[in-house]
Amino acid sequence: MKILVALKRVVDYNVRIQVKPDGSGVAVEGAKMSINPFDEIALEEALRLKEADKAEEVIVVSIGPEAAQQQLRTGLAMGADRAILVQSDEAVSPLHAARILHTLVQAEQPGLVLLGKQAIDDDSNQTGQMLAALWGRPQATFASKVALEGETATVTREVDAGLETIAVDLPAVITSDLRLNEPRFVKLPDIMKAKRKPLDIRPLEELGVTPPPACQIVRWRAPEPRQAGHKVETVDELLTALKERGVL
């Protein structure tokens, strides 16, 4: 069985995000770029399934600029067998990404698709669900535990009320939550080996996926500075302050 894992190139979570002075976007020039953390967790889970003899091949896929090869090479260094870069310099909406992934799924015929529940740059939480709908296959989102047995995946999901365990038939789409696992550390010898693994670069135009109508971002702005709090001494003083602010 093949497992296909989607990796998104994002600004590293340790970097302090800055909005461009003209409000046209986020300043990424010179910023450290990394694999989206939730996608990295998804890849780790795919590798563990392969190590448990539940899969024969792990393929990592990214949609983005030529520089996204760096994140794919990191995925190969972690243990993925091969990589595919769908090269595009334009921003890709969740629906467009799902359609691109669906095209690759039809070509590769994986038994399982894993990706993060959301990306830390746009927090859309849409691509996995849309891919499952386009593919016509079951989905299990927000996974904190995954077990494969035959043609069935048993997934423990993190939901508002606690934990929910469901079984889905394969092929399926599973999106990873934070507590699914802890990704492995990439060692230098693995980085060197990754340079010899196949990385297929495909221009977006070759896939024949027409970009769907997308929302247009008119302007970006940083959040307003947080105002200092006001300490009260008694409950009566608190109620008075809340009334003055129109809360009560």
For residue 126, the model assigns a pLDDT of 95
Q: Which domains does the chain have, with CATH numbers?
A: 2-218 (3.40.50.620)
- Taking the C-alpha atoms of residue 100 and residue 131, their distance in angstroms, rounded to an integer, is 9
Helix axes 94-108, 127-135, angle to 10 degrees: 50
For residue 213, the model assigns a pLDDT of 65
- Taking the C-alpha atoms of residue 190 and residue 111, their distance in angstroms, rounded to an integer, is 26
Residue 8 CB neighbours (<10 A): 26
For residue 23, the model assigns a pLDDT of 83
pTM: 0.86
Q: What are the angstrom distances between the C-alpha of 152 and each of 28, 121, 139? A: 42, 32, 12
Buried b (16+ CB within 10 A) or exposed e, 153-178: bebbbbeeeeeeeeebebbbbbbbbe
For residue 106, the model assigns a pLDDT of 96
Residue with tokens 């921003």: 91
For residue 212, the model assigns a pLDDT of 67
Residue with tokens 């996995």: 128
For residue 30, the model assigns a pLDDT of 83
For residue 89, the model assigns a pLDDT of 87
- Taking the C-alpha atoms of residue 96 and residue 57, their distance in angstroms, rounded to an integer, is 26
pLDDT in tens, the chain (248 residues): 999 999 999 999 988 888 888 888 888 888 899 999 999 999 999 999 999 999 999 999 999 999 999 999 999 999 999 999 999 988 888 999 999 999 999 999 999 999 999 999 889 999 999 999 999 999 999 999 999 999 999 999 999 989 999 999 999 999 999 999 999 999 999 999 999 999 999 999 888 887 766 677 888 888 888 888 888 899 999 999 889 888 88
- Taking the C-alpha atoms of residue 128 and residue 141, their distance in angstroms, rounded to an integer, is 8
Q: Is 229 left (phi over 0), alpha (psi -120 to 50) or beta?
A: beta
